[in-house]
Amino acid sequence: MNYISTRNKSIKVSSAQAIVSGLAKDGGLFVPEVFPKLSEKDFEELIAMSYPERVAKVLSMYLEDYTYEELLDYTQKAYSRFYGEDPCPLVNVDEDLYVLELWHGPTCAFKDMALTMLPHLLSAARKKTGEDSRTLILVATSGDTGKAALEGFKDVDGTDIIVFYPSQGVSDMQKLQMMTQQGKNVYVCAIDGNFDDAQSAVKTIFNDSEIQAKLLANGYKLSSANSINWGRLAPQIAYYVSSYCDLISSGKIKLGDKVNFCVPSGNFGNILAGYYASLMGVGVNKLICASNVNNVLTDFFNTGTYDIHREFHKTMSPSMDILISSNLERLLFEFSGRNDKLIKERMDALKKDGKYSISNDELQRLNKIFSVGFATEKDTKEVIDNCLEAYDYLMDTHTAVAMSVYDDYYEATNDETPSVIVSTANAYKFPCDVYEAVSGERVDDAQKATKKLESFTGEEVPEPLADLDKREIRFTNVIDKKDIAEEVLKYTQKN
Ligand SMILES: *Cc1c(COP(=O)(O)O)cnc(C)c1O
């Protein structure tokens, strides 16, 4: 199966090439030529499988350059790094209400589901496409992605990773997670400035052929772990398939029955994977797209116009503070009848005017499967508190946004379909806000808030976050953004 660009269907590459390049040459995103379908027999096999086997089976239907055995080797390596017995448990909190916990990975957030797999897929794809230089991953991060990428690429053969973060733009917990990063092939460096400074400094390296020639002379080729890479999206389809299998094997539903998924959304990658799972044969009634007050997606699904001219809010669910949801392009490609010219026009309009509109017909079809809503900061806090009271379940701020939007959906529709709230982070990743929500007391120090939250709820701090303050600090460098290229070259000379 080949991959085509959303902006020009005649650009066609293999799965390995799609993963190596990340983005198509014309700026479009790679999508599979056709979506594979799961037969009844496939579902029967999947139900009997472990999580790594399920992911390998789903991936093998998309990534024809890899054998099932090869993929199984990677999924076993990736998901053995998760703590607890099940990499993504489906927790029954109320009668027909479930929480799918996607945060049992090394950084306690859902990015781990894909970022523990991507390094294996990428490093193998390089070999398959005839590349023998080392892969150098450069990341500018506002927090979660950088740490998840570091953990994913740590000690993976043939790769190195350098992460730049804004010295004034990440939380104390996130900073500590990165400064204590272990691994032989990792480097972390702060940049004097904010996230945009770090991001634009990294972008200049990707656009500078002179630096890239020097890197190549040192044996390195650049790559990105960006969230639009197909190698990050594909592993996410698997947990929708897997949770559907879990519902069947628990006897809650029969094969073919429909369920709702409510997903806290930012860049639209997570919920898009749910849509792709529905195309494969997972029974989906509604995909509920939940936003915080940065509700550009809510407005889009209500009006058919995507418009980024709006105020940007910093919220307690920072991973959803986003104005441009890149992966929406892939969804619109499907709903426009795979009209690449139209998608290109819309994306050009977004770049030029900051907005575009879709047709009424497309909007109506979208709203048959998608439902939307957003939660305010007050809603988010209330839901964290209410869920602890009602279900004895502690959730993080992002999951709470989804739960709040689901509550509104249920109130408006009385839809009794079994529903899955997709949970994207452990509560202890955002201890200050979560503790305030349940206790009413504000503590600004993350370590102190963690201790207080633990004694207040009796909920254990997950392994990867538990001993952070005792780990060796390895990376304390802070540089000026103009020195970033030199810093990268210095790293590649040393190694
Ligand atoms: C990245 C992230 C999201 C948003 O996911 P998208 O795929 O970008 O929509 C939600 N919650 C958490 C905790 C995240 O890290």
Backbone angles phi, psi at 284, to 5 degrees: -120, 125
Q: Which pLDDT belongs to residue 495? A: 67
What distance in Å separates the CA atoms of residue 253 and residue 246, rounded to the nearest whole number? 9
Joined together, the tokens standing for residue 129 give: 């496409």
Q: Is 361 exposed, middle or buried (0-12, 13-18, 19+ CB in 10 A)?
A: exposed
Those residues whose C-beta lies under 8 Å from the C-beta of residue 260, and which sit 6 or more positions away, are 284, 285, 286, 287, 288, 406, 409, 415, 417, 418, 419, 420
Whether ligand 1 lies within 6 angstroms of the CB of 231 is answered as: no
Whether ligand 1 lies within 6 angstroms of the CB of 319 is answered as: yes
User: How far apart are the CA of 41 and the centre of ligand 1, in A?
Assistant: 33
Q: Which pLDDT belongs to residue 131? A: 84
User: How far apart are the CA of 320 and the centre of ligand 1, in A?
Assistant: 6
What distance in Å separates the CA atoms of residue 245 and residue 420, rounded to the nearest whole number? 13
Q: Which pLDDT belongs to residue 9? A: 97
Whether ligand 1 lies within 6 angstroms of the CB of 235 is answered as: no
- Which is it for strands 284-291 and 186-191: parallel, antiparallel or unpaired? unpaired
Equal fold, 42-79+111-230+475-494 vs 90-106+242-462: yes
Tell me the C-alpha to C-alpha distance, in Å, between residue 45 and each of 207, 280, 340, 411, 486: 46, 15, 36, 37, 52
Q: Which pLDDT belongs to residue 44? A: 98
pLDDT tens for the chain, 495 residues long, are 999 999 999 999 999 999 998 889 898 999 999 999 999 999 999 999 999 999 999 999 999 999 999 999 999 999 999 999 999 999 999 999 999 999 999 999 999 999 999 999 998 998 899 988 888 999 988 777 899 999 999 998 889 999 999 887 787 788 889 999 999 999 999 999 877 788 888 888 888 889 999 999 999 988 888 888 999 999 999 999 999 999 999 999 999 999 999 999 999 999 999 999 999 999 999 999 999 999 999 999 999 999 999 998 989 998 898 888 899 999 999 999 999 999 999 999 999 999 999 999 999 999 999 999 999 999 999 999 999 999 999 999 999 999 999 999 999 999 999 999 999 999 999 999 999 999 999 999 999 999 999 999 999 999 989 888 889 999 999 999 889 999 999 999 976
Whether ligand 1 lies within 6 angstroms of the CB of 101 is answered as: no
pTM of the model: 0.94
Whether ligand 1 lies within 6 angstroms of the CB of 424 is answered as: yes
Q: Is 81 exposed, middle or buried (0-12, 13-18, 19+ CB in 10 A)?
A: middle
Q: Where are the alpha helices (DSSP H) in 431-480?
A: 431-439, 446-457, 463-466
User: How far apart are the CA of 2 and the centre of ligand 1, in A?
Assistant: 27
Residue written as token pair 């509550």: 407
Those residues whose C-beta lies under 8 Å from the C-beta of residue 69, and which sit 6 or more positions away, are none
Neighbours of 349 (CB within 10 A): 14
Residue written as token pair 């879709």: 358
Query: Which residues in 86-185 belong to E strands, given as ranges?
Result: 90-94, 97-101, 134-140, 159-166
- Nearest CA owner, ligand 1 atom 1: 319
Residue written as token pair 């795979």: 338
Whether ligand 1 lies within 6 angstroms of the CB of 381 is answered as: no
Q: Which CATH class is domain 90-106+242-462?
A: alpha beta
- Nearest CA owner, ligand 1 atom 15: 319
Query: 118, 291, 398: which to mutate for ligand 1, most atoms within 8 A of CB?
Result: 398
Segments making up each domain of the chain, as ranges:
42-79+111-230+475-494, 90-106+242-462
Whether ligand 1 lies within 6 angstroms of the CB of 82 is answered as: no
What distance in Å separates the CA atoms of residue 282 and residue 261, rounded to the nearest whole number? 11
Q: From the alpha carbon of 398, which atom of ligand 1 is closest? A: 11
Q: Does domain 42-79+111-230+475-494 have CATH number 3.40.50.1100?
A: yes
Whether ligand 1 lies within 6 angstroms of the CB of 264 is answered as: yes
Handedness of CA 236, 386, 107, 242 (dihedral sign): negative
| Greatest alpha-carbon span in the chain | 63
Q: From the alpha carbon of 267, which atom of ligand 1 is closest? A: 8
Q: Which pLDDT belongs to residue 78? A: 95
What distance in Å separates the CA atoms of residue 31 and residue 25, rounded to the nearest whole number? 14
